[in-house]
Amino acid sequence: MSVTQQYALDLYRAAQRGEPAPPAPGHGDWRALRALREYRDFQAVAAERPARRRSGALRRALRRALRAVGARVARRPVAGRTAGDAPGRPVTDPSSCPTPG
C-alpha cells in the first residue's frame, strides 16, 4: 500500500468516526528532523561530548564537489588547441618554430 493510499484510508476512517482529518504525509517531516537533531545535540552535551561534528563532512563534500567541477573543466576542449598539444603551452604555428640543427 502506498503512502497516498494509506492516507486516503485514514481520511475515510476519520470521516466515518467523526474525527479530525490526519495531517497530510510529509507535513511535519522537517519539524521532526529538526527535533531529532536537537535531541542528539542535547544527548551529546549531556554526555560531555561536542554537540556537532559537521566540519569534516562539510569539508569532504566540498572537496568532492570541487573535484567534480575540476574534472568537468579538464575535459572541456580549449579553443584553438588540438588533442596533441601539451596543456599549459600556447599553440604555435609549426612554421614559426626554429628548426633544430
Residue linked to cell 568532492: 64
As for how many domains the chain has, the answer is 1
- Using only the alpha carbons of the chain, give its radius of gyration: 30
Per the domain annotation, does 28 fall within a domain? Answer: yes
Per the domain annotation, does 95 fall within a domain? Answer: no
What gap in Å lies between CA 82 and CA 84, rounded to an integer? 5
Q: What pLDDT, on the 0 to 100 scale, is given for residue 90? A: 57
Domain that holds residue 16: 3-74
Residue 41 makes CB contacts below 8 A (sequence gap 6+) with: 51, 52
Per the domain annotation, does 54 fall within a domain? Answer: yes
Per the domain annotation, does 26 fall within a domain? Answer: yes
Per the domain annotation, does 8 fall within a domain? Answer: yes
Contact 21, 11 (CB under 8 A): yes
Tell me: the pLDDT tens digits for 21-78? 988 888 888 888 889 988 988 998 898 887 776 667 777 888 888 888 877 766 666 6
pLDDT over 90 at 17, yes or no: yes
Per the domain annotation, does 87 fall within a domain? Answer: no
